[in-house]
Amino acid sequence: MNAFRIFSTLFVAFACSGAQAGGDHNHSHAEPSAAALGDSPTRLPDGSVFLPKKSQRQLAVRTVVAEERLAPQSVELTGRVLMDANAGGRVQALQAGRVEAGPRGLPQLGQHVRKGEALAQVRSSVSAIDRANQQAQAAELRGQLEVARRRADRLAQLEGSVPRKDIEAARLEVASLQQRVAAVGGSVSATETLTAPITGVISATHVVAGQVVDARELLFEIVDPSRLVVEALAFDLALLSNIGAASAVPAPGVSVPLRFLGAARAQREGAMPLRFATSGSQTVPLAVNQPVKVLVHTRAMVKGVNVPAAAVVRSAANQEVVWVHTTAEVFAPRPVRVVPLDGATVSVLDGLKAGDRVVVQGAALVNQVR
């Protein structure tokens, strides 16, 4: 009997301990409390991030309430910055020769120049045979000039006894020979002055002092940085009749307004070249030959949530997500589908709803919490 009582007592104790263990096991799957997580940022098992208020202030996390609105649908094209033919120029030598510095020295990259300003000089260089032929021709002309002068002087002394037309013809011959002597003599050591064709900034220089250049060789390039052209290739020809505003995106978060100029009527590699111009009101952060993204706004409208481009980050699965502030210290990732509006703003078409608090500043830092 005593043995039976002892066995019953042990069975009840074991059953109670098993029930407590089962309760502890179920509690481990519940969401950890703030006290259990501590004061450090932590990635939770469901993928959300626990971020204490202190850490939110240190990371400068900012949120906004999502609002749905209509925005123009955008098409992203690949473009390249080109020189405007009316606001850019090239300086080339008309003759072969040796380069000499101008009054202000040879221009440097980024130097501002004015139209007609002397940039450099090219002193003509000819072979020894050509130079000898020029000098011989100059000597022959000087001899002819001396003979013509003496004849003109003799005829002048006989004025009245010889026809006046002979005297005038002799004088004209002297003047003609003087000009020919000056032309031939100048060609022996001719100097060409290279001037700026437009007012702008030196964008490229291909010469140093003393360099020998050939005729038509490119020496300097000048551009007006406030007037550039962007060329983009469109493969959808239907876009030509649906173009609204446009902007160039040279870097994330940077947007340069563009004005549509027109489209070529000849395809290039199966695409139609489109030309856009910058506003021209101020210097834009673009450079000639720089590749850029061109966002063309069409007349079609889409409904979505507009957020800064910095609010969209990539998850570990390389998926575009935004972070939503669900509770005071918890942020949850939301996979989204976005379309660009300009270089600084995107429209979220799917994944958000009105009223969500979206992280618009510090999203990349929240995304790095592990």
- Tracing tokens 């059953």 back to the chain, one arrives at 15
On whether the pTM is more than 0.75, the answer is no
Residue type at 321 in one-letter notation? V
* Per-residue confidence (pLDDT) for residue 201, from 0 to 100: 93
SS3 108: coil
Cβ proximity of 236 and 206 under 8 Å = no
* Per-residue confidence (pLDDT) for residue 182, from 0 to 100: 80
* Per-residue confidence (pLDDT) for residue 23, from 0 to 100: 40
* Per-residue confidence (pLDDT) for residue 91, from 0 to 100: 94
Which stretches of the chain drop beneath a pLDDT of 50?
Answer: 1-31, 34-35
Contact residues for 15 (Cβ-Cβ < 8 A; gap 6+): none
Query: What is the DSSP code (8-state) at residue 310?
Result: G
* Per-residue confidence (pLDDT) for residue 275, from 0 to 100: 92
Q: Phi and psi dihedrals of 317, rounded to 5?
A: -90, 15
Contact residues for 60 (Cβ-Cβ < 8 A; gap 6+): 361, 362
* Per-residue confidence (pLDDT) for residue 82, from 0 to 100: 92
137 vs 149: CA distance, rounded Å: 18
Give ∠ CA 216-219-223 in degrees, rounded to 5: 115
